Structure formats: structure tokens, C-alpha cells
A = this chain, B = another copy of it.
């Protein structure tokens, strides 16, 4: 089933994505072109406070021209492990630092064309750590009761794949 790479060239190398065009030999020995968006692995986190509320972030997403309600997520810096990235992103995006961070799983974002894998975490024992950080500009934190999450997904208020997947994976554990 594996496709063998014949040639591979980068057509763009940016800060967030690299775009690679590969010629491959398919399983049935035909030549085909594969457009591959290289994106570093990321973290996404379901933060839960002492009352059981889930902290979501509302932020403008330029690529789609809309403000979305999502679980916090972000990149893993060079030399940083995934758990440290969770703590840093939580601080930057929500102003809270979790004492407890637990791996819940993970998933590929768009395996048809993109390399990105998202590690999913649960963050609890949140401590306020509000800073006037640059990264929090334009991000609003919204606390939601777990019983209201399904309605927000059904209505389309929560409408990105990682948030739907991550929140469903968390709700199953309750």
C-alpha cells in the first residue's frame, strides 16, 4: 500500500507551514503528484476548573475570516516537550496555569495533505496567572458548563475539528 517517493522539492518554506511537492510511485506502479503541507506537531488542551467548567477561547481566525470558539491550542517550541507547551499556551491564551496536565490522546488534523499531529491534554487544578502577555490580545476566555458543550457543537458555535474531537473525548470520560 505504501507509496514510494520518486522526487521531492519544497516550493515554500514559511514560519508556520512548508509546502512540498512530491512525485510518488503508487501501489499499482503509477506516477502521481502529492502536495504535502508540512506543519509542526501541536498541542490542544481541555482546561477544566474546580467547578467542572471548561475554559474555551474565542479568537479571530484570519484564514477563515471569522471568530471561533475553540479549545486552547498551539505549537510546541523547539526544545520544549508537549506538556510544557500545554502549560505555556494555557498561560498565554487563558491566563491560567494548570497544576495537573494529563495526556488524553491525539489526532492528525488533515492527514490527506498535512503532516500536523495534535497531542490532546486535559488540564486541571488551574491557578490564575493573568499577565498582560502579547499573545492574549484579542483572545477572550469563555467558561462553559460541560452540559452545555453538546448544544454549542450542535448549533455550530463550536465548529473546528480539534475542538469537537477534543471535547467529545473529554465528555466521554465524565
Contact = CB atoms under 8 A, between A and B. Distances in A.
Interface string A98-112: 000000011111111
A45 interface: no
Contact of A107 (B61, B105, B159): B159
Given A12-B12, A37-B37, A114-B63, A161 B19 contact: no
Contact of A60 (B2, B16, B64): B2
A36 B14 CA distance: 11
Interface residues of A, number: 64
Interface in A57-80: 59-68, 70, 73
A39 interface: yes
Contact of A17 (B73, B113, B117, B159): B113
Contact of A111 (B16, B21, B61, B106): B61
Interface of A: 1-3, 11-12, 14-17, 19, 21-22, 24, 26-28, 33-37, 39, 59-68, 70, 73, 105-118, 137-138, 150, 153-154, 156, 159-165, 168-169, 172
23 contacts: A1-B60, A1-B138, A2-B60, A3-B62, A16-B112, A22-B62, A28-B138, A37-B114, A61-B112, A63-B112, A63-B115, A105-B153, A106-B159, A107-B160, A107-B163, A108-B160, A109-B161, A161-B161, A161-B164, A164-B168, A164-B169, A168-B168, A168-B172
